Chain A
């Protein structure tokens, strides 16, 4: 398709060139060479321009503007000719519409005569008024993007050329003509870094017709332009372009080559250079563009063979910047990962980890309205908070995210502070689960305050645990011995209830085997039944070592789906492995019966009022030494006492924000040890509070 189009374009061009050979008088259409400072800086390449000034060189270019744009250029050519250019374009649902206006004027040409008293030499004729000339073109443009493989834009100009000669009545006249330009830009689908373009200026080659003192007809000529631009080395900030201009009945017969580069150094600064071939000279052009808040100022230097042909060109454009999408509150979600909501913690100071989904940057965090110092990396945070009181603590986390406007998102986290269990370390995966079940008296420890989390659990222990969790009172039940090996056993009643409730059936030989260690598969079956999960055979393999026809596959699939075994990563369930007490605690906490009891526990908490602070600073720093992989820490706090006047962070003064006298500063953490020193000063610059902590980053 493209090959056909190119062949067609070449064919049309040949026809037009062939029929354009004539010896008509040739005048100038200023729009043929009206280009902006940006184009001149790029060696005069204007065919590939995609702003409103494209109306002059390739109307298809305006199809790429985002919303609307206006531009103006003023220059003085050859120290005498004033040229002014204005253009604009606006994108609508029907395509992009544009306009362009260019005017060039020259005056002060005197009438002359021969002085016969002085050898017939040429002298000025004082009786003839000075003559002036004005040449302008008005353009109306339409461009549209076309659905095609790749990015295709087509454009059309309707042009009105008007010239006038002023002076005596013998010369005062006006000439007008109408013409059209056609243009195309195309980026192939599989070569997104390349853009090609072609433009036929003054396609109709209509003559300019004079009226008034003259009734002459002049040809305005035109150009066939072809060119391309490419993102160099895939770098979208560096673009190279070239253009080939073939004149058609133009004032000059020379074909011209132009080439240039534009480097967008930053959002605000662009640098340009190019080699421009003109019929008067070939030389290097340079340009610079400055952009801010939608305004763009372009300057270009164009050298000439003659000093007077050197030009300084200035352009000013405006295009509204796209509005930054306002972040919607409901696109952010604050999620506390550890400890999670309704979990157990130990100690007065607890580190909370969390994430704000949808956020690019976390600006600050408050907990219960207090300024804290979170470690942050993009949407993740880690923050210490104290004091955590004994019992239930209700913490409201408020995170401020987003840029440039910050949006707050909050979440509540309830934690139970427990005294801790000796043999359950802080980093044990089921620490919170064990602490909660201990607090609920569902799963107590052993004498000596140990829990033995890695010990296996027997069938008797498990069914007792589950029956108690169900809240069944066994004391009032009559002694019932269902199994022949449970007579006199301490768990006989629990085993009987478990069998009756279908939690754990006995063996075919009517035994219960109370001391038998429970495997993962068995635990999954029992706990699945305890939870009331349907035990349908799964449609596909859940674990490599649990075939679909395995006796426990349905229950295993059920507990997996309910999130009870999310501590098992990988593809192996190891169904015959003896389940540990810690694993059972983890599963039980997540069953509907136990989790609702946990919820009830947390909902019945009393909200504790914190005593009034007599501190100088409100700040909750991390411990004196801390290791983290986060990129930065937000140092945040508030001056409390009237005595405190200012705050220094690593000897740098922080801005105190009214009215709550808070301060905030994001500190980037370097690899190695980072020392953070915060000092509160009084009005006399005396240090009244000093706090230092060290953060190690690998």
Chain B
């Protein structure tokens, strides 16, 4: 009896404790136009906003409130699984050239969590610009494994990356279409495999790369090949 009582108490305590530990929470993974975003990123003017909500406990579709610049919008919520929900909204009226914010609140009635991204820049007027200097990783890099060249664009654009050696010879080129990887508004990464136009890996040394939009150079960087 004593043992039975202790067991019940243990069971009740466990349930109570479980409820405490296993309280519902939300994890948000947001993409805009297919690219993950963080505060102060550049986004296109009519992006597809998608926030993937992952819950810690199975849940029916949570109630969501999405706002753009504090204006509520009605997203489409699709349950991917019992704990994963996709919340999407396609901006139809182009956002103005300014800084914008997107927020999302999800609740199960009891637990509420929010996600927000602010300082999202939209810039459609004028030539495409680059925010911050381009960087490549790894740097130095082994040509056999290549390196990723990263840069931020203010808007979608056709991009060409010219890679030069220290004698000023153009040794490789990468071309990225507007809206595709390497030509999207916001953060881009373009992988270079360390092979020059002759089909050979480059040797140890420093290489200069220009990021071009049309014939305008909008950014440049220096990378070191080393093995």
Contacts and interface: CB of A to CB of B under 8 A. Distances in A.
Interface in B193-227: 196-206, 208, 210, 212, 215-217, 220-224, 226-227
A77 B168 CA distance: 6
Contacts of B139: 109-112, 131
B170 A135 contact: no
B169 A26 contact: no
Nearest to B212: A306
Contact of B204 (A110, A173, A251): A173
Interface in B123-176: 135-140, 143, 148, 150, 162, 164-171
A131 B187 contact: no
Interface in A204-253: 208, 210, 213-214, 216, 218-219, 247, 249-253
A690 B205 CA distance: 83
B77 interface: no
Interface stretch (A118-126, A465-473, A547-555, A599-607): A118-126
Most buried by B among A123, A210, A308: A308
A147 interface: no
Interface residues on A, range: 35 or more
A71 B195 CA distance: 36
B166 A133 contact: yes
Contact of B210 (A30, A109, A250, A308): A308
B36 interface: yes
Contacts of A253: 197-199
Contact of A119 (B36, B136, B215): B36
B38 interface: yes
A27 B220 CA distance: 21
A81 B222 CA distance: 11
A135 B199 CA distance: 22
B214 to A, nearest CB: 10
Interface in A576-629: none
B223 A109 contact: yes
B189 interface: yes
A106 B166 contact: yes
A110 B135 contact: yes
B167 A30 contact: yes
Given A122-B148, A251-B171, A308-B210, A25 B136 contact: no
B205 A163 contact: yes
A23 B195 CA distance: 10
B204 A122 contact: no
Nearest to B152: A121
A33 interface: yes
A374 B221 CA distance: 76
Interface in B10-64: 36, 38
A104 interface: yes
Contacts of A278: 169-170
B184 to A, nearest CB: 14
A305 interface: yes
A389 interface: no
Interface in A253-300: 253-254, 278-280
A280 B150 CA distance: 23
B217 A306 contact: yes
A28 interface: yes
B148 to A, nearest CB: 7
A135 B162 CA distance: 21
Contacts of A165: 140, 204-206, 224, 226
B215 A78 contact: no
A688 interface: no
A307 B215 contact: yes
Given A78-B168, A80-B222, A251-B169, A122 B136 contact: yes
Contacts of B224: 109, 131, 133, 165, 167, 171
Contacts of B140: 109, 111, 131, 165, 167, 171
Contacts of A112: 135-139
B210 A78 contact: yes
A24 interface: yes
A114 B187 CA distance: 13
Contacts of A249: 198, 200
A308 B220 CA distance: 10
Contacts of A33: 167-169
Nearest to B141: A112
B89 to A, nearest CB: 21
8 contacts: A28-B166, A83-B168, A119-B38, A133-B206, A163-B205, A306-B212, A306-B216, A307-B215
Interface of B: 36, 38, 135-140, 143, 148, 150, 162, 164-171, 187, 189, 196-206, 208, 210, 212, 215-217, 220-224, 226-227
Given A80-B220, A109-B222, A163-B205, 5 more contacts: A28-B203, A80-B222, A109-B206, A122-B189, A308-B220
